[in-house]
Each structure stands twice: as C-alpha cells, then as structure tokens.
C-alpha cells in the first residue's frame, strides 16, 4: 500500500493562511490503513488546525469529510457539493489523491496535508517499511523476493557494496543490508547460484526515468 505521514501543523497553518473556509478531506483507503489520512486523522488534524487558527489569529472555518478513494472519480464526485462550499481543500490523500482532486476541481486550490512516503507494508504495530519502487519491470524472482532496487540504498543488482555488514546497511545502523537478506534467503531456498550470474544494466525506461507512466488496458475500455 501507499504509506504516508501527516505534515506538521505549523506547516499546514502556513500553507492555509489567507483562506477561511477549509475542507479537510480524508481518504478511506491506503492512508487510512497507515493512520495518516483517514476519518480519524481528518478529525485530529481539523481540531489541531482550529486550535492553531485561534492561537495565531487566523480565522479558519474547518469542515471535515472523508471519501472512500480520492484517486477514483466515482468517489471524488461524492465530495463535489462540499468542495463547492469551501475556499480550499486540504487533502489528506496520497499525492495521487491530491492531484486527482485538483484536476477534477480546477478552480479550487487543493493542498497536500500529507507527505506521501513510499510503497510498503505494515511491519508491526506503528511501523511501516518500504518494499517497492514501482520500477515497472519487476526483478524480485531473481533476488529471493527481496528488492535490491528499493531496499539497497545504492540499487546494487550484483551483490552488496563494500560497506555491507551482516547486521546493518552502510547508510543507517538501524536498517538491514538488503544484500545480506537476499543472500540468506537465496541460500535458504537453494537458489544461491542466482547470485553468481552477472546482472546486466537495467532498463530504467519503465520507471519514472522514462517519463510519466500511464497504463492502458484495452480489454477494459469500452
């Protein structure tokens, strides 16, 4: 899922100052699951903004709403009436959600209330980790299901760098070296020979480097 975190209240206040009627719009999908932009967080952020507004002399009038998915026009439509009544939308969706709302309501300022962080998983209560860079050409089968593009800070495709330690990455002491994980995993499933092959340079054209991406499923188009 998409993992995001809330922006700090002072940053939001700075962003919103000059506006009066503000709609804080949550999203019921990924950002609800990662506790950043669901109904609960809409309520918390709205309350915090009301307090900050009073304290700093801004005159925010804040309403709250959460729709199922901000990245889907069917659901965005449900917010049309509420959006029309406000000067500005503070979206607590991911970056895709913010843009989808902004494109649909071209006359209305739409601001991002979250920092969209990564594609990841819930590791344990309150801890999410990044797993996928959406490079558009998956190589996980070669690496025992552990992505070196995402989880190695240097995107090494042929083994660890010289700074690899069995218990940590060169870059951060609290993060494992992806290559140590790949090695153990491949050894465990009897596929260590995969590591002996030289992986040729990657074609990054399927990633963001190839320009903004678009997926067209002709079989689903009318």
Partner 1 sequence: MKHNSNLAKRIEAGDFVLTAEFLPRASADNSSAGATISSMSNVTAVNVSDNPYGPVMSSLAGSVILRNAGVEPVYQIITRDRNRIAIQSDLLGAACLGIRNVLCLSGHHQALTGSPDSSNVYDIDSIQLIAAVRQMRDQGILLNGTKIEGDFPMFIGAVANPFMKPMELNVIRLKKKVEAGAEFIQTQAIFDVEGFKEWIEAAQKEGITEKAAIIAGILPFRSAVEAENKRDKYMDMSIPDQVIERMNSAGDEEAQRKEGISICVEVVKEIKGLDGVKGIHILSGGRESSISEVIAEAGL
Q: Which of 33, 46, 118, 38 is nearest to 70 (CA)?
A: 38
Q: Any alpha helices (H) in the chain, and if so which ranges?
A: 9-16, 30-33, 39-56, 73-76, 80-84, 95-104, 148-151, 178-188
The DSSP annotation for 87-144 comes to SEEEE-S-HHHHHHHHHHSTTS-EEE-EEEEEEEEEEETTEEEEEE---SS--GGGTT
CB of 153 to partner 1, least distance (A): 5
CB of 109 to partner 1, least distance (A): 29
CB of 83 to partner 1, least distance (A): 35
Residues in contact with partner 1, total (CB under 8 A)? 31
Pick 43 or 133: Cβ nearer partner 1: 133
Pick 56 or 158: Cβ nearer partner 1: 158
End-to-end CA distance of the chain: 28
10 touches partner 1 (CB under 8 A): no
Span 175-204, contacts to partner 1 by CB under 8 A: 179-180, 183, 192, 195-196, 198-202, 204
Q: Among residues 47, 137, 158, 205, which is the contact residue for partner 1, using CB under 8 A?
A: 158
Pick 1 or 157: Cβ nearer partner 1: 157
CB of 210 to partner 1, least distance (A): 13
Distance CA 178, CA 173 (A): 13
154 touches partner 1 (CB under 8 A): yes
Q: 77: Cβ–Cβ under 8 A, 6 or more apart, which residues?
A: none
Tokens 């491949």 correspond to what residue? Answer: 186
CB of 170 to partner 1, least distance (A): 4
Pick 196 or 221: Cβ nearer partner 1: 196
Report the C-alpha dihedral over residues 58, 63, 66, 71, rounded to 10 degrees.
-60
Pick 1 or 195: Cβ nearer partner 1: 195
Query: Where along the sequence are the contacts to partner 1 (CB under 8 A)?
Result: 153-166, 168-172, 179-180, 183, 192, 195-196, 198-202, 204
């Amino acid at each position: 899922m998409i993992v995001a975190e809330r922006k700090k209240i002072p940053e939001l206040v700075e962003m919103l100052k000059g506006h009066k009627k503000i709609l804080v719009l949550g999203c019921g999908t990924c950002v609800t699951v990662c506790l950043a932009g669901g109904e609960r967080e809409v309520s918390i952020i709205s309350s915090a903004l009301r307090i900050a507004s009073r304290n700093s002399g801004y005159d925010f009038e804040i309403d709250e709403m959460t729709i199922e998915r901000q990245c889907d026009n069917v659901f965005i439509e449900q917010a049309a009436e509420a959006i029309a009544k406000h000067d500005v939308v503070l979206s607590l969706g991911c970056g895709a959600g913010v843009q989808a709302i902004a494109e649909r309501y071209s006359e209305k300022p739409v601001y991002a209330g979250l920092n969209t962080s990564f594609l990841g998983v819930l590791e344990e209560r309150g801890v999410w980790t990044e797993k996928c860079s959406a490079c558009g050409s998956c190589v996980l089968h070669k690496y025992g299901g552990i992505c070196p593009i995402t989880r190695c800070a240097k995107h090494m495709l042929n083994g660890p760098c010289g700074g690899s330690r069995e218990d940590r990455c060169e870059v951060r002491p609290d993060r494992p070296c992806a290559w140590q994980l790949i090695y153990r995993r491949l050894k465990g499933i009897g596929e260590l020979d995969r590591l002996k092959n030289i992986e040729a340079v990657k074609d990054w054209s399927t990633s963001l480097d190839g320009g903004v991406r678009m997926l067209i499923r002709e079989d689903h188009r009318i």
